[in-house]
Amino acid sequence: MRVLEARLDELELPLVEPFETSFGVERRRRLLLLQLVGASGERGVGECVAARDPLYSAESVATARWLLSRYLIPDLLAHETPDPGAFLDRVRGLKGHPMAKATAEMALWDLYARERGEPLATALGGKRRRVEVGVSVGIQPSIEALVRRVGEYLDEGYRRVKLKVRPGWDAAPVGAVREEFPDLRIWVDANQAYPPSAGPAIVRWAVRLGVEQVEQPFAEREFGAHARLCRARRFRVCLDESIVDRASLEEAIRQRALSSLNVKPGRVGGLTSSRELQRITAAARIPAWVGGMLETGVGRAHAVALATLPNFVLPADLSASRRYYRTEIIDSPFELGPGSTLAVPRGPGIGVEIDEAALGRVRRRSQRFRPKHP
């Protein structure tokens, strides 16, 4: 693949409603979108999941823009790239910044699959035609509002909810949802908000309320505390922020700190790394699933393709487009289908096309890049 042109857009999209987690509230999603034009005439697009502020992880829109414009895009324009792996090899010396690297790597994967005329899911080795999904529900202004929201999502067809929790917003709201919906699959996600000493209390309410999975209750490096929670064996303990690459996953497995893995391509540096982590979890008999970062249709399409791989056996955090945004920047928004699923697009690459008019309405900045010596 030879890249003749790159465009880096910064977008601002209002969420249909604020999304509150233990680390903050998101009202308007700021994000970067990278479009590549290949010598073949095909295009490739990648979405950067870093947010405006470095609250989920160290990266932000600003740091990702810097890495992309200063290093990654110039690298792509200066070299012939046979496949996404060749790009990863070249930028291996640049430390950190997995979300920025994933943006370029995912755009390359799209371009690569389009040049081969096959869907990204097929290029990755996936087989499923639909992927099962659930819905991640932010912290709400009141318990009544939460129960109402969950009811609306169930009416839309979702069959598994993930409730955001934090100290002070856990047993009571989760208990109210459980009381109203006795058979519902309930997961919770704390985004590292609890101290290790909270472990026994979490076990008590999670078991009493039939919580199926507890995601990242403790800090990123607290493998020991997560391992103690795993030993209760009454619900799955899922890691998200703790797992950033192969080494962290292997160490977590060695310490028995997880019984489920949330794989987000942005967090782990792209689709190649996501696929590798998926393989490692399969070998360790740990169920995995694809997480979400409030993506637009572009990042969602990449994530849906990833979710077709075999060990993604739990429902993904990839909901329908309308759960996030009123305006979608792709031509065919994702809709919830039978059995709480999203259809895997059948066209080449990510299988959806950018709606340039819609993109123009939410774009705040745009930068073009061309090769130095064409």
Catalytic positions, written as ranges = 164, 264
**Alpha-carbon distance 14 to 27, whole Å?**
6
Binding residue (CB under 5 A) for Mg ion from 47, 240, 295, 328: 240
With a CB cutoff of 8 Å and minimum separation 6, the contacts of 238 are 187, 189, 213, 214, 215, 216, 258, 259, 260, 261, 262
317 binds Mg ion (CB under 5 A): no
Distance of closest approach, residue 292 Cβ to ligand OSB, in angstroms: 2
- The strand ranges marked E within the chain are 3-21, 24-38, 43-48, 130-132, 135-137, 160-164, 185-189, 211-215, 236-239, 260-263, 288-290, 341-343, 363-369
Q: Dihedrals φ, ψ of 202, to 5°? A: -60, -45
Shortest spacing between CB 215 and ligand OSB, in angstroms: 7
Separation between Cα atoms, residue 63 and residue 323, nearest integer Å: 28
Q: Is residue 202 left, alpha or beta, with left meaning phi > 0 and alpha meaning psi from -120 to 50?
A: alpha
- Residue 319, binding choice from Mg ion, ligand OSB, none, Cβ under 5 to 8 Å by partner class: ligand OSB
Part of the chain binding Mg ion (CB under 5 A), chosen from 93-101, 182-190, 228-236, 243-251: 182-190
Of the pair 158, 223, the CB lying nearest ligand OSB is at: 158
Closer Cβ to Mg ion, 61 or 290, answer by number:
290
Q: CA 215, CA 102: separation in Å to the nearest integer?
A: 23
- DSSP β-bridge partners for residue 28: 14
Question: Under rule CB under 5 A, which residues in 198-237 are in contact with Mg ion?
Answer: 215
Among 189, 212, 295, 328, contact with Mg ion (rule: CB under 5 A): 189
In the complex with ligand OSB, the residue whose CB is nearer, 139 or 294, is: 294
Which of ligand OSB, Mg ion, none does 9 bind, CB closer than 5 to 8 A by kind? none
**What are the distances in angstroms from CA 43 to CA 124, 146, 330?**
18, 41, 14
User: Using CA atoms, how far apart are residues 107 and 48, in angstroms rounded to an integer?
Assistant: 10
**Least distance to ligand OSB, CB of residue 80, Å:** 35
Which of 191, 192, 260, 340 binds ligand OSB (CB under 6 A)? It is 191
Structure-block tokens of residue 343 = 């259809």
Nearer to Mg ion, 105 or 189 (CB): 189
Cβ of residue 293: shortest distance to ligand OSB, in angstroms? 5
Please measure the distance between the N-terminal and C-terminal CA atoms of the chain and give it in whole angstroms.
15
136 binds ligand OSB (CB under 6 A): yes
Using the contact rule CB under 5 A, the part of the chain among 60-68, 91-99, 186-194, 247-255 near Mg ion is: 186-194
136 binds, among ligand OSB, Mg ion, none (CB under 5 to 8 A by kind): ligand OSB
Q: Is residue 348 within 8 Å of 34, Cβ to Cβ?
A: no
Pick what 47 binds: Mg ion, ligand OSB, none; C-beta below 5 to 8 Å, kind-dependent. Answer: none
59 binds ligand OSB, rule: CB under 6 A? no
Q: Which is nearer to ligand OSB, 49 or 230 (CB)?
A: 49
3-class secondary-structure state, position 168: coil
In angstroms, the CA 289 to CA 233 distance is 19
Q: Could you tell me which stretch among 123-131, 189-197, 221-229, 366-374 binds Mg ion (CB under 5 A)?
A: 189-197
Pairing of strands 43-48, 288-290: unpaired
- Residue 331: closest CA among 363, 358, 364: 358
Instruction: Select 291 or 349, whichever has its Cβ closest to ligand OSB.
Output: 291
Q: Which of 9, 38, 56, 214 binds ligand OSB (CB under 6 A)?
A: 56
> One symbol per residue from 288 to 327: x for binding ligand OSB (CB under 6 A), - otherwise; what is it?
---xxxx----------------------x-x--------
Residue nearer to ligand OSB on the CB measure, 22 or 273: 22
* Position 189 contacts ligand OSB (CB under 6 A): yes
In whole angstroms, give the CA distance from residue 314 to residue 312.
6
Q: Which residues bind ligand OSB (CB under 6 A)?
A: 56, 136, 189, 191, 240, 291-294, 317, 319
Q: Which residues bind Mg ion (CB under 5 A)?
A: 189, 215, 240
